[in-house]
Amino acid sequence: MLRNPYDRHELVRQDVKQVICSVCDTEQPVAQVCTNCGVNMGEYFCDICKFYDDDIEKGQFHCDDCGICRIGGRENYFHCKRCGSCYSTSLRNNHLCIENSMHHHCPICYEYLFDSLRNTTVMKCGHTMHCECYHEMIKRDKYCCPICSKSVIDMSRTWKRIDEEIEATVMPEDYRHKKVWILCNDCNDTTEVYFHIIGQKCSHCKSYNTRSIAPPVLPQ
């Protein structure tokens, strides 16, 4: 055990050349079985990552494209070349690709996603986060991607309810003909619409996931 915390260092597994058997203390080249006493140093062994583990119920496997060992069973995952990471087979041909989308931090808990041991999900917009963080976000009535602000679930029923609320809420005369420019977070369209205190509806995709913006500057 290191007494001085400044003596700690990161172990680059791929650079490990020699290991010491914990049973017979023999130093030897990296291998799964001890060359001296024959003990199995790990039920799972990766010669690339120099990684040992006795709990094979984790379903460890090495992904050559990721360059690291993962858990969950090789049969349950595939490597998406464009996203640059392994995803659950349920997402094969069923997600929007964003280049290197897993090479960033979860926008909720800020843990680095690429080598995280927790399950991840791909939202409709293509951005990724931990599954548990996603469900917690939805549970707190947050339905927009924290990165790009696009809706992450089908909001058509909510938009219909807002339509009904707007129809039932008459604006004061001073605001009845007021117009504002909006940017739709869902389709990225900009339109001029009538202002309403409840919300502004995108004329293109009918979403209320919009925000007010300055009027466009017309060329002189």
Residue 188 has pLDDT above 60, yes or no: yes
pLDDT of 198 reads 96
pLDDT of 65 reads 95
In this structure, the number of other CB atoms found within 10 A of the CB of residue 87 comes to 21
Cα–Cα distance measured from residue 203 to residue 11, given in angstroms and rounded to the nearest whole number: 56
Residue 2 has pLDDT above 60, yes or no: no
Residue 136 has pLDDT above 60, yes or no: yes
pLDDT of 180 reads 96
pLDDT of 6 reads 62
Residue 220 has pLDDT above 80, yes or no: no
Cα–Cα distance measured from residue 189 to residue 210, given in angstroms and rounded to the nearest whole number: 10
pLDDT of 54 reads 93
Q: What is the mean pLDDT of residues 95-113?
A: 94
Residue 169 has pLDDT above 80, yes or no: yes
Q: Is residue 19 part of a domain?
A: yes
End residue of a domain, out of 47, 72, 97: 72
Total number of domains constituting the chain: 3
Question: Residue 4 — very low, low, confident or very high, per pLDDT cuts 50/70/90?
Answer: low
Lowest-confidence pick of 8-17, 73-82, 162-171 = 8-17
Q: Which residues have C-beta within 8 Å of that of residue 24, sequence separation ≥ 6?
A: 34, 36, 37, 39
Residue 122 has pLDDT above 90, yes or no: yes
Residue 77 · residue 69 · CB < 8 Å: no
Residue 211 · residue 183 · CB < 8 Å: yes
Shared domain check, 136 and 98: yes
pLDDT of 5 reads 60
Q: Is residue 219 part of a domain?
A: no
End residue of a domain, out of 50, 72, 94: 72
Shared domain check, 63 and 4: yes
Q: Spell out a b/e string for 10-48, using b for 16 or more CB atoms within 10 Å of the CB, else e.
A: eeeeeeeeebebeeeeeeeeeeeebeeeeeebeebbbee
Shared domain check, 79 and 148: yes
Cα–Cα distance measured from residue 52 to residue 30, given in angstroms and rounded to the nearest whole number: 10
Q: What is the mean pLDDT of residues 192-196?
A: 95
Cα angle value 104/144/178 (rounded, 5°): 135
pLDDT of 8 reads 66
Write out the residue range of the structural domain in which residue 95 sits: 73-153
End residue of a domain, out of 42, 72, 102: 72
